[in-house]
C-alpha cells in the first residue's frame, strides 16, 4: 500500500459580523474551533459572513469595522491563520456565483417554510427583502463550495444545514457527484450557556447587556454581571436545570472554564453560599478571557497584519472555491471559458 496520508475531513463554519460575540460563542464555538485546529485532524475554513449581514440594514462604516473586529476575535481566541483558512465571505465572489446557481435548484416553498425566515419577516416587517428568503441558499453555497464534510452549528442553524444537504443531494441526483453532502458537527461539550438575567433562555447579545458576558468585557464588568446573575432563594449549590437554572448555569460555566466536572464542583461547594460560586466563576472567566482581550487589542491595532491575513485567506479559499465552481459550470452545461 502507499503511504499517502488520508485526506483530512474538511470543516466549515462562519459567524456574522453582527457586533458582540458572547461567552456562549466562546464556549460553544470558538473554543471548539481551536481544539479542532490543535487536533490536527481537520482542514478548517472559517469566514466572516458579511454578505449574510446585508439581509438587515447595516451602517456601512460599522459593518466594515465589524468584519475586521470579528476576524481579530477569531485570532485572539487562538485560531491560527496559517493553520485555518480565515477570510471575509465577500472577498471570494464564488460564494455569490454559486448561490445564484443553487437558487435555481431550490423551491420557493421550502424557503418560505424556514422558521428563521418566518421570524425575521415578522421582526423586520418593513424590509422583507428577497435576500431574507434566499439566505439559506447563500449559506448552502458557502458550505458546498468547499466540498465540506462537517459543519459545526448551533441548533438554530440545523434547518439551514438540512436545506444545504437537500440541495446537494438533489443536484447530485441529476448531475452525478457534484457536491460532498455535509453533516452537522456538534462539539463534545454540549454546554449551552444561558442568560444571566433569565437562565431559562439562551445567552444572547440581542438581550440587555446584564444578561450576557461579551468575550471582550472588562474584568470588573464580568465580575459585576456574574455577581448579579439570577439564582434562587434556596441557598444550596445543586445541579438541577429544571428547578435551579441559574445555579446550574453558573456550574456549567465554571466547569467549562475551569475544567472540573460538575459533580466535583457540587461537592466542593457543599455548604458554601452562591457568593462563593459566583466569585470563583468570575475568576475563571476573567482568567480565560483576559489574554483574549489583550491579544485582540494587539491584533486590531495592526491593520496591516489583519489585512494580510484576510488577503491570504481569501486567496487560499478562492483556489478551492474556483475548483468547485468550474466543476459545476461544466456539469451544468455553461459554456466553457478560458482566461
What is the nearest approach in angstroms of ligand TRP to the Cβ of residue 156? Answer: 7
d(CA 102, CA 214): 36
**Residue 256, interface with ligand TRP (CB under 6 A)?**
no
What is the nearest approach in angstroms of ligand TRP to the Cβ of residue 279? Answer: 33
Contact present, 163 and 169 (Cβ < 8 Å):
no
Q: What are phi and psi of 11, to 5 degrees?
A: -115, 140
What is the nearest approach in angstroms of ligand TRP to the Cβ of residue 263? Answer: 32
Residue 205 falls in the annotated catalytic set: yes
Cβ proximity to ligand TRP: between 55 and 255 the closer is: 55
Catalytic residue among 202, 225, 244, 278: 202
Cβ proximity to ligand TRP: between 10 and 52 the closer is: 52
What is the nearest approach in angstroms of ligand TRP to the Cβ of residue 47? Answer: 8
d(CA 242, CA 174): 49
Cβ proximity to ligand TRP: between 73 and 284 the closer is: 73
CA 123, 124, 126, 130 torsion-angle sign = negative
Catalytic residue among 83, 205, 327, 331: 205
User: What residues from 261 to 320 belong to the interface with ligand TRP (CB under 6 A)?
Assistant: none
**Residue 90, interface with ligand TRP (CB under 6 A)?**
no
Tell me how many residues contact ligand TRP (CB under 6 A).
Answer: 12
Cβ proximity to ligand TRP: between 55 and 248 the closer is: 55
Strand partners of residue 45: 12, 85
What is the nearest approach in angstroms of ligand TRP to the Cβ of residue 119? Answer: 12
What is the residue-wise DSSP string for 291-331?
HHHHHHHHHHH-HHHHHHHHHHHHHHHHHHHHHHHHHHHHH
Those residues whose C-beta lies under 8 Å from the C-beta of residue 203, and which sit 6 or more positions away, are 22, 23, 24, 193, 194, 195, 196, 211, 212, 213
Q: Which three cell numbers stand for residue 266?
A: 457540587
d(CA 147, CA 143): 7
Question: 261, 236, 257, 260: which is closest to 246 by C-alpha?
Answer: 236
**Residue 142, interface with ligand TRP (CB under 6 A)?**
yes
What is the nearest approach in angstroms of ligand TRP to the Cβ of residue 200? Answer: 22
**Residue 13, interface with ligand TRP (CB under 6 A)?**
yes
- Count of alpha carbons within 13 Å of 231, Cβ hemisphere only? 21
Cβ proximity to ligand TRP: between 155 and 301 the closer is: 155
**Residue 17, interface with ligand TRP (CB under 6 A)?**
no
Catalytic residue among 120, 225, 244, 278: 120
Question: Taking contact as CB under 6 A, which single stretch among the options 12-20, 213-221, 293-301, 311-319 is the one that binds ligand TRP?
Answer: 12-20
**Residue 12, interface with ligand TRP (CB under 6 A)?**
yes
User: What residues from 25 to 54 belong to the interface with ligand TRP (CB under 6 A)?
Assistant: 49, 52
Q: What are phi and psi of 146, to 5 degrees?
A: -105, 10
Question: Taking contact as CB under 6 A, which single stretch among the options 6-14, 66-74, 171-179, 204-212 is the one that binds ligand TRP?
Answer: 6-14
Residue 83 falls in the annotated catalytic set: no
Residue from 143, 180, 237, 257 binding ligand TRP (CB under 6 A): 143
d(CA 144, CA 99): 10
Q: What are the start-end ranges of the E strands in the chain?
A: 9-12, 42-48, 84-88, 150-152, 183-185
Kindly give the pairing relationship between strand 150-152 and strand 84-88: unpaired
What is the nearest approach in angstroms of ligand TRP to the Cβ of residue 49? Answer: 4
Residue from 58, 121, 129, 157 binding ligand TRP (CB under 6 A): 157
Residue 327 falls in the annotated catalytic set: no
Contact present, 31 and 191 (Cβ < 8 Å):
no
Which residues sit at the interface with ligand TRP, rule CB under 6 A?
12-14, 16, 49, 52, 139, 142-143, 151, 153, 157
Give me the active site residues, please.
Answer: 120, 202, 205
Amino acid at each position: 500500500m502507499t503511504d499517502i496520508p488520508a485526506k483530512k475531513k474538511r470543516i466549515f463554519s462562519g459567524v456574522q459580523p453582527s457586533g458582540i460575540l458572547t461567552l456562549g460563542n466562546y464556549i460553544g464555538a470558538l473554543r471548539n474551533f481551536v481544539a479542532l485546529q490543535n487536533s490536527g485532524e481537520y482542514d478548517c475554513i472559517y469566514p466572516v459572513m458579511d454578505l449574510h449581514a446585508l439581509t438587515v440594514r447595516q451602517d456601512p462604516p460599522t459593518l466594515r469595522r465589524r468584519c475586521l473586529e470579528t476576524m481579530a476575535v477569531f485570532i485572539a481566541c487562538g485560531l491560527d491563520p496559517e493553520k485555518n483558512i480565515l477570510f471575509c465571505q465577500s472577498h471570494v465572489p464564488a460564494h455569490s456565483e454559486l448561490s445564484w446557481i443553487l437558487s435555481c435548484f431550490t423551491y420557493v416553498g421550502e424557503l418560505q417554510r424556514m422558521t428563521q425566515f418566518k421570524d425575521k419577516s415578522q421582526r423586520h416587517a418593513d424590509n422583507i427583502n428577497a435576500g431574507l428568503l434566499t439566505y439559506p441558499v447563500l449559506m448552502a453555497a458557502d458550505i458546498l463550495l468547499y466540498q465540506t464534510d462537517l459543519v459545526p452549528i448551533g441548533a438554530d442553524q440545523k434547518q439551514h444545514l438540512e436545506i444545504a444537504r437537500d440541495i446537494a443531494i438533489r443536484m447530485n441526483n441529476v448531475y452525478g457527484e457534484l457536491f460532498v453532502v455535509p453533516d452537522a458537527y456538534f462539539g463534545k461539550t454540549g454546554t449551552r450557556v444561558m442568560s444571566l438575567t433569565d437562565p431559562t433562555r439562551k445567552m444572547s447579545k440581542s438581550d440587555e447587556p446584564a444578561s450576557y458576558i461579551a468575550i471582550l468585557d472588562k474584568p470588573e464588568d464580568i465580575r459585576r454581571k456574574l455577581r448579579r446573575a439570577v439564582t434562587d432563594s434556596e441557598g444550596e449549590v445543586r445541579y438541577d436545570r429544571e428547578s435551579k437554572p441559574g445555579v446550574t448555569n453558573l456550574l456549567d460555566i465554571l466547569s467549562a472554564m475551569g475544567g472540573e466536572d460538575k459533580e466535583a464542583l457540587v461537592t466542593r461547594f457543599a455548604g458554601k453560599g452562591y457568593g462563593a460560586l459566583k466569585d470563583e466563576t468570575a475568576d475563571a472567566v476573567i482568567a480565560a478571557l483576559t489574554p483574549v482581550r489583550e491579544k485582540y487589542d494587539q491584533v486590531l491595532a495592526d491593520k496591516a497584519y489583519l489585512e494580510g491575513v484576510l488577503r491570504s485567506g481569501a486567496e487560499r479559499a478562492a483556489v478551492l472555491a474556483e475548483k468547485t465552481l468550474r466543476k459545476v459550470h461544466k456539469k451544468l452545461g455553461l459554456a466553457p471559458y478560458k482566461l
